Chains A and B, each alone.
Chain A
Amino acid sequence: MPFIPNLSLKEEMLKEIGLKDIEELFSDIPEEVRIKDLDLPEPLSEEEVVKRLREIARKNRPFPDLLSFLGGGVKPHYVPSAVKHIISRSEFYTSYTPYQPEASQGYLQAMFEYQSVISELTGMDISNCSLYDMSTSLGEAVRMGYRINRRKKVLIPRSISWERKSTLKNYIKGLPVDLVEIEYDRESGKLNLEDLEDKIDGDTMCLYIENPNFFGIFEEDVDEISSIVHDRGSILIVGVDLLSLALVKPPGEYGADIVISEGRTYGTPMNMGGSSLGIFACRKEYLRNIPGRIIGLTHDLDGNRAFCMTLQTREQHIRREKATSNICTNEALNALALLVYLSILGSEGLVKIAKKNLENARLLHDRLVSLPWFKPRFKGSFFNEFVLESTQDVFYMNRELLKRNIMGGLPLEISFPELKNCLLFGITEVYDDKDVDMLIRSIKEVYHV
Chain B
Amino acid sequence: MYRFASFDEPLLNKLPQRKTKISTQSPHIPEKLRRSSPPKIPNLEEQQVVRHFFRLSQMNYGIENGTYPLGSCTMKYNPKVCEDVAGWREFTDIHPYQDESTFQGTLQILYELEELLKKITGMDAFTFQPSAGAHGEFLGMLLVRAYHELRGEDRNEIIIPDTAHGTNPASAKMAGFEVIEIPSNSEGTVDLEALEKVLSDRTAAFMLTNPNTLGIFEDRILDIERMVHNAGALLYYDGANLNAILGIARPGDMGFDIVHLNLHKTFATPHGGGGPGSGPVGVKKLLEDFLPVPRIRKKGDRYILDYDLPHTVGKIRDFYGNIEVCIKAYVYLLMMGRRIRDVAEISVLNSNYMKEKLKRSGFFDFPHRDLKKHEFVMSCQRLKEEKGLRALDIAKRLLDYGLYPPTIYFPLIVKEAIMIEPTETETKEDLDRYVDALISIAEEDPDIVRSSPTKTPVKRIDEAYAVRNEILTWKDI
Contact = CB atoms under 8 A, between A and B. Distances in A.
A401 to B, nearest CB: 10
Nearest to A219: B33
Contact of A76 (B24, B90, B93): B93
B461 A300 contact: yes
Contacts of B350: 6, 13
Contacts of B366: none
Given A310-B467, A323-B170, A127 B323 contact: no
Contacts of A2: 79, 335
Interface string B123-159: 0000000011111011000100100000000000000
Interface string A239-255: 00000011111100000
Interface string B368-398: 0101000000000000000000000001100
A348 B20 contact: yes
A355 B78 CA distance: 40
Contacts of A80: 46
Interface stretch (B191-199, B229-237, B313-321, B440-448): B313-321
A391 interface: no
A381 B29 CA distance: 7
A113 interface: yes
B428 A9 contact: yes
A263 to B, nearest CB: 11
B26 A355 contact: yes
A330 interface: yes
B343 interface: yes
B40 to A, nearest CB: 5
B33 A218 contact: yes
Contacts, number: 650
B39 A246 contact: yes
Interface residues of A, number: 194
Interface residues of B, number: 196
A223 B335 CA distance: 57
A59 B336 CA distance: 24
Contacts of A296: 466-467, 469-472
Interface in A5-35: 5-7, 9-10, 13-14, 16-19, 22, 25-30, 32-35
B40 A272 contact: no
A227 to B, nearest CB: 13
B304 interface: no
A421 interface: no
A174 B405 CA distance: 37
B273 A96 contact: yes
A187 interface: no
B160 to A, nearest CB: 9
Contact of B22 (A68, A173, A323, A347): A347
Contacts of B142: 170, 173
Interface stretch (A46-54, A370-378, A440-448): A46-54
Contacts of B85: 49-50, 53
Given A93-B272, A115-B472, A174 B177 contact: yes
A60 B84 CA distance: 17
B308 interface: no
A153 interface: no
Nearest to B59: A106
Interface string A199-230: 00000000000010000001011110000000
A102 B456 contact: yes
B169 A346 contact: no
Interface in B330-381: 331, 334-343, 345-346, 348-350, 352-353, 356-357, 369, 371
Interface in B429-477: 431, 451, 453, 456-463, 465-467, 469-477
A16 B9 CA distance: 47
Contact of B338 (A38, A96, A323): A38
Contacts of B78: 93-94
Interface in B236-259: 245, 247-250, 253-254
Contacts of B456: 102-103, 105
Given A93-B62, A276-B318, A132 B93 contact: no
A257 B315 CA distance: 26
A381 B89 contact: no
A274 B320 CA distance: 7
A300 B469 CA distance: 14
Contact of B57 (A64, A100, A106, A410): A106
Nearest to A52: B334
A434 interface: no
A82 B217 contact: no
B90 A38 contact: no
A326 B179 CA distance: 14
Q: Give the interface centre of B81, B451, B461 by most chain A CB atoms within 10 Å.
A: B461
Interface string A164-188: 1011011101110000000000000
Interface string B42-73: 11101001101111111111111100101001
Given A73-B318, A297-B469, 17 more contacts: A4-B346, A26-B348, A49-B85, A62-B92, A92-B57, A93-B270, A106-B58, A109-B59, A220-B30, A276-B318, A287-B470, A298-B466, A326-B138, A329-B133, A333-B273, A362-B28, A381-B30
8 contacts: A3-B76, A3-B424, A28-B217, A86-B53, A102-B453, A106-B60, A301-B460, A333-B274
